[in-house]
Every structure is written in structure tokens, then in C-alpha cells.
Amino acid sequence: MLQRPAGSTNDTKIYDSVLATCEKTTGITIKTQDIPSSGYLAKVLQQASSKTLPDVLMLDNGEVPQIAESGALAPLKPLGVTTNGFAEGVVQASTYGGELYGVQPVANTIALFVNTELLAAAGLKAPTTWDELKRTASILTKGDTYGVAFSAAASEEGTFQFLPFFWSNGGDETNIPTSEGAAALQLWKDLVIAHAASESVLTWTQADVNDQFIAGKAAMMINGPWQFPSLDKAGVKYEAVALPAPQLGAEIVSPLGGETWTVPVTGNKEKMASAAQVVQCLGSDASQLELGSGRNLIPTNENLAGQYAQENPKMKGFVDQIPGLRARTAQLGPDYAKASQTIYTAIQDVLTGGAEPLEALRRAETK
Amino acid sequence: MIMTEIKTKPVIAPRWRVSGRNKERLLQQAFLLPATLYILLIFGYPVVQNVIMALQQYTTATFFTGHAPWIGLANYQAVLQSRDFGRAAMNTLTFTAFSIAGQLIFGMLIALYFRRRFPLNNLLRGLLLLPWLIPLIVSSAVWRWMLDKDSGVVNQILGALTFSDVRIGWLTDTTVALLAVICVNIWLGIPFNVALLYSGLQDIPQELYEAAALDGATGAKAFKHITWPLLRPVVTVVLVLGVVYTLKALDIILGLTGGGPANATQTLSTESYRLSFQQFDFGQGAAVGNILIVISLVFALLYLRANRKGSKA
């Protein structure tokens, strides 16, 4: 029994095809169970307490430490699972307490989407630094159109979007109130104060941000590759480039998103061994390529990613960020949820004019 | 009341009749059993669990290991000392008081209006129930669009009325976000208020108004001396139920603002949700939940008292 959150029809179709291949190569019959994605974690917790966890379990990579901490997941190395060639950040995300608990075949992260028509009309190029981002966004702000849109919502989504700015400038979630972190907050504040970004970023989810971009109400946006299908369908002329860096040439550190496959401790040794084989197969090169190209995600095997970027040029903005991808839970493990809250609370405080960046970070942390 | 008095009186009867009575009593209690079991299972168990949970360090690990160390009142202490609590409590108070007042005033005005006879009265009254029938997730999403700062229809209408470019950040400005959420909640609660108040108004005999009219009491005077006093039991019920529903309101706030911006619309119920399902600190979440239950309980007792008075009359 393999359990996953219900995704879009396209996601399901591609995963089904990958799983069918895995059934052939491993000789193991796989039954799948789709759980509504809202409340997925609650369901998993419930299953953990009633000892009815499935043999193979899909988790968001950020949730691995939470569940691994409880002892519900089996370490994968003793079951013979390997992750050779995987990007370091990816392996780290599925690792807790030195043990590997998950295999993540494909990853996502966020990049800067630009409306190429609006940019060309203004004679501009996609910004590569923070200063350029501010300038470009200001120039592109006209009438009903804002220069840039992003999600600063009071949730993990807001933190997720902020992390590349925070990290790239040297911010650290184990010591949040620093001038480096505050400078990143100042950037977002400057964009909103200059009206280059709408104040509504405070409530927008990443899906809302995408709607604004499609409607032409934002000339640029921060978003992920999962938006490609809807953008293509809407016929927007766009390009996804790497996020702007604090200074020219500085490395961009982006958060790693995506799901990982784990083997819960069910007590049935035979089934757990079979489950490990299925997980290994899901992480194989063939699965990575099929899942990546079918769903616009990045293969997590670094060698594969390079080749993949050449074949899928629109993914370049994302693949380029692979070496710098960082797991959100790498340093704090299960305590990341607290840090995430501190960060989004500070973002909200600053953007509503409640406090200056450094003060807001301090205040959010000490409550 | 009378029934219970008879029961408590000692029954003097021949022996064979006592056993017959006992049988009857047993039978009576047996009929109560399903309801009692249902209440214990569906309401009692979760409440007791919640009280216990609030005294434990209950995290995600507890779900798998079943092990949750006792930490006494530490959860309550942590919750009460956090900066968020005072604000959430204050917001809950404001949200509840203004929502209830608004719902009652508008509900009453509309109910009174529909007492008149006019064409399409029934149809319009039916349509008025619509906000009640729309799933909350849907209506909160629609309101979120309408209240959008840049392209929301609310700002556009205000702009057209004042011939200026109105850009109020209804859901993004910390000073007005709570007001906006209250307004949406009032809209949401009006159908419930109208339905109850309207049926209450139907029970007031028309002759009273006719008699009063002869004495020269019409309009506001009639409302003050006839409608209001006779409607008071219904109003009490509407108020108490309204308070309980509003105190626990969660979905509408989550749908509109998620408690933001910068916690400006965080209430005790969203705070409890946040602690439990975003921070996975189920112990602290339960503590906030229990505080909320106690507050609701006070109003529930008021409701029961009002009900008893009502049935006595």
C-alpha cells in the first residue's frame, strides 16, 4: 500500500505511469491510496497513532523531521536504499538525526518570472541584483500593473518565498535577528512602500500571485515551476530566471521544495523490504526524468539535472539554483516550524508598518 | 417543574407496587440510555481528552509513541504569557461584540421590514437565506476578491460614490482588517437572525397592535411597548446562540485573512488552530481551546437559564 496526497490529474497520471514501471522492474504489486491534500499531515498523524500507516508514504520534505522524530519512519540505509549522485541539500532534507528517511526524486524551488512583453516594451532586462529588482519593479509599475508580486502571507508560503532573500544575504534561521536578515526584509519593505508591489502581498498565496501575473497586474512574480501549465494555458509571454542576488555574482540560496518517499515502521519486515525497493525505484534516474519532464520539476540527481536543463530550456532558471538549494529543516529539524512562524510574523509586522525590520525580527523571536 | 416535585416525594405504596414502579423507572432510564451514551461518546470524550491534552506535552511524536509527559499547567502558563494571547483575547471580544450587535440590529430591521405585505415578500425572504447556504470557504474567497485593495469591487463602489480613487487595504491594513472581518461576519449572521426574529414576530398577535393603535401607539411606540417586550425571549436565544457561534468562528477568519495582517485578526479560535495544526503543539492548542470552551460554557448556561424562564412563562 502506497499513500500520497491527491494531486492534479496530470500529477496523478505521471506518477501512475512511473509506478507502473516500478511494478515491472521490482516485481512488486503496488496499490495506491490518494488522500485529500488538505489535512494530509493530520491524516498521517492519525494513522501513526492507530498504527495503520501505509507501507510507502509520501511526505513534503519539510515534514520529514516532524514524523521521523516520532519514530514512525524507518531509516532507509539499513534497508539498502542509496542516494548516490543526489544533490546534497536534497539528501539533507530527508535526513534526521544522521539517518536517511526519505528519497526525493524531483525537487522544486522558486524563481523570478518576468512578463517578457512588458519588459521589452519598457526596454528592460530581467533584474539580477536587488537594486536592479527595485529599479525594474518601479519602472514597470504603471496604472493597474505593479512591478512585482510575491507571497508575504502569514504562513509557511510567505516564509518559503522570503527565504531565498534571507539566506542569500547571509540570514540564518538559528539566529534570526541579524542585520543580514533585516536587510532582506528591508528589500521587501522598499518594494511595498514604493508601490512597486501591492500591499495585498500580505494575504496572497502563491496561487494568488500567479493569478495577478496572468491578469497582467504584475510584471514580474516570484513563483515555482508548478505554475508553467497555467501560464502556458493563459498564453502569457514569460520567462523564468534565477532570483536576484544581493550583489552582482553573489550566490543565491533557495529553499528546496517537493515531496519525498518514506517507509513507515509497520512491523512487517518483508513488506518494509519491498517498500524500500519501491522507494529506491522512485528515486531512479528513469523515474526522475519522467517525473521531472512531466511535471516541470527538477531531477534531484545533479548529473541528470544538467542534461535535463539542456532538453528543457525553460527550466534553466530553476536548475541553475540546484547546487545552492537548501533544506528548510537542515539546521532546526522539527523546530523549523517555530522559526518559520518567527519569520512570517516579522514579515507581516514590517510590511504593515508595525516595526522596523531588525526590531520586528527581534520581537517575533522573543514572544 | 411540577413533574419533578412529584417524583421527589417519597412514595408510600404496597410492596408489590414498588417493584412495579422500579421496573417502570428502570425502563424510563433505559430509554434515556442511548442519548446519554451518545452525549458521553460524542461530546464528553473529546472534551475530557482536550482537558487532559492541555496538561501534557503533546507533540507529533505522541501520535506514534502514545507517550505524552505530564507537565501540569505549563501549557496554560505558556499560552497566557505569550504576547499573542492578550491580543487574541481582545480581538475575540471585539469581534464577538460587534458581530453580534450588527447581526441583531440588521436582522431585526430586516425582520420588521418583512412583516409588511408586499409582492415577492416570500421569495425575497427565501433569497435572504442564501449567505447561509453558500459554503463558507466559497463566500470567504469571494469576499476576499471584493475587499481587494487594488481591484476589489468594494473600493470601486466607494470610489464611484466619492468621485475619488479609494484604495483602502481592507484585509492588508492592520487598522481596518478586523473591521472588515466583522462586517463579513455580520453579513453571514443576518440570515440566522432574520429567520429566528421573523418567526418570533409572527407569534405576536396582531390584535395587540390594533388595540395599541386605538390608544395612539404606533410605529416606534408600538415597537417599544409591544414588539420588544414580547420578542425578548427570542432575542435572548438569538443572542446567546450568536455569541457561541461567533466565539468559535474559525473558517471565516482563516478564509479572509488567516489571522493576519500581523495578527490583527487573530482570535482565540484561530490561535488554537495555529498552535495545534501549524506549530504542532497540541498541548498549548488544547489549552487555548479549553479557555474558549469555558467562555462558551458561561453563555451556554445563560442560554439554558433563559430557556427555562421561557418555558415557565
Give me B180's grid cell: 472588515
Numbers of helices and strands, H then E, in chain A: 16, 15
Domain ranges of chain A: 2-108+256-326, 111-254+332-366
CA nearest to B171, candidates B94, B92, B261, B254: B261
Q: Strand A218-223 to strand A99-100: parallel, antiparallel, or no bridges (unpaired)?
A: unpaired
Fold of A2-108+256-326: D-Maltodextrin-Binding Protein; domain 2 (3.40.190)
For position A10, what pLDDT does the model report? 79
Single-letter amino acid code for the residue at B22: N
Q: Would you say residue B71 lies in a domain?
A: no
Mean pLDDT of B19-33: 85
Domain of residue B142 covers 81-312
Cα B107 to the center of its chain, rounded Å: 15
Q: How far is A13 from chain B (nearest CA, A)?
A: 28
Residue B75 lies in a domain: no
Q: What CA–CA distances, in Å, run from B159 to A151, A260, B147, B166, B182?
A: 27, 49, 13, 5, 22
pLDDT the model gives residue B6: 45
Query: B11 CB contacts (<8 Å, ≥6 apart)?
Result: B18, B21
Of B85, B135, B100, B132, which is closest to residue B244 (Cα–Cα)?
B100
B68 lies in some domain: no
CATH code for position B272? 1.10.3720.10
Residue with cell 404496597: B14
* Domain contains B227: yes
Q: Which site among B137, B172, B181, B263 would you substitute to test the A interface, given the most A Cβ atoms closer than 10 Å to its Cβ? A: B172
Q: What is the pLDDT of residue B5?
A: 46
Q: Identify the contact set of chain B against chain A, taking CB-CB distances under 8 A.
A: 59-66, 82-84, 144, 148-151, 169, 171-174, 257-264, 277-280
Contacts of B307 (CB under 8 A, 6+ apart): B237
- Looking at residue A118, what is its pLDDT? 94
Q: How far apart are CA A74 and CA A266, in angstroms?
A: 9
Instruction: Name the average pLDDT for chain A.
Output: 91
Query: Do the chains contact at B82 and A42, CB–CB below 8 Å?
Result: no
For the segment A311-345, what is each residue's pLDDT rounded down to a tens digit?
888 888 888 887 788 999 988 988 898 899 999 99
Give the pairing type, strands A238-241 and A106-107.
unpaired
Per-residue pLDDT, B12? 53
Identify the weakest region by mean pLDDT among A7-16, A122-131, B30-39: A7-16
User: Which chain B residue is nearest to residue A364, measuring alpha carbons?
Assistant: B83
Question: What are the pLDDT digits (tens) for B28-55?
Answer: 888 999 999 999 999 999 999 999 999 9
Contact A352 B172 (CB under 8 A): yes
With a pLDDT cut of 90, the percent of chain B lying above it is 47
Closest CA to A224 of A310, A282, A150, A172: A150
Q: Which of B61, B260, B277 sits opposite A69 (nearest CB)?
A: B61
Encode A184-193: b = buried (16+ Cβ within 10 Å), e = exposed. bbbbbbbbbe
Q: Show residues of chain A in contact with B173, CB under 8 Å.
A: 199, 352
Residues A40-80 pLDDT 10s = 888 898 888 888 999 999 999 988 998 898 889 999 999 99
Which residue of chain B is at minimal alpha-carbon distance from A355?
A: B262
Predicted pLDDT of residue A237: 94
Number of domains observed in the structure of chain B: 1
CB A188 within 8 A of CB A199: no
Tell me the mean pLDDT in the region A7-28: 89
Q: Which fold has domain A111-254+332-366?
A: D-Maltodextrin-Binding Protein; domain 2 (3.40.190)
